[in-house]
Structure 1
């Protein structure tokens, strides 16, 4: 059974990405959730079809190319067309 702590973190990440398009590093800094955890949640949400990559661009935290993510259902529909 999944630990409530991690489940809560994943839900916070999911809800944040509904309104914001950011990289995992940016979300980590804003939400104060370890980036390793967010990378794991990203994979889980992608497999469930609840998270999509909007575009690739320079991360404002790392200054490296990274995926900008969303869980916004309307934006995901647009990306799938």
Structure 2
């Protein structure tokens, strides 16, 4: 006689996709919020948040493209001892040259 295992459920593809997106979205938010309060390298962010460094690099690029994160200074990482960029999402520490100029006089005549 064949037994039926009620604990085994087929993988729901939609559920897996939603979980992956939700996890991804949460990781990006975690990195962004951490960097609003801290200036750190990707290695330091990884150690503090538990998010793998390769994921941090991907989210870093996405946040930079949206103007929400900037590289502030390249110096020795406190964690690894290698030269690395220190990152921030705190607008008070954004480099002046990277600020978007508002009302720069480029009006059409």
**Is TM > 0.5 for Structure 1 vs Structure 2?**
yes
Distance 1:25 1:42 in 2: 12
Which structure has the highest strand share of the two?
Answer: 1
Runs (5+) with no aligned partner, structure 2:
1-17, 98-109
Distance 2:63 2:73 in 1: 17
| Residue 27 (1) aligns with residue 50 (2) | no
Cα displacement (A) at 1:62: 1.6
Deviations 1:18-42 (A, max 9, x none): 0100000000001000000000000
Equivalent residue, structure 2, for 1:80: 96
Which structure has the highest helix share of the two?
Answer: 1
Q: After the TM superposition, which parts of structure 1 deviate over 2 Å for at least 4 consecutive aligned residues? A: none
Equivalent residue, structure 2, for 1:69: 87
Root-mean-square deviation (CA, aligned residues, Å) is: 1.4
Equivalent residue, structure 1, for 2:65: 47
Equivalent residue, structure 2, for 1:37: 55
Instruction: Please say which structure displays the higher CA radius of gyration.
Output: 2
Q: Using CA pairs below 8 Å that are at least 6 residues apart, which structure has the higher relative contact order?
A: 1
**Number of residue equivalences:** 79
Runs (5+) with no aligned partner, structure 1:
none
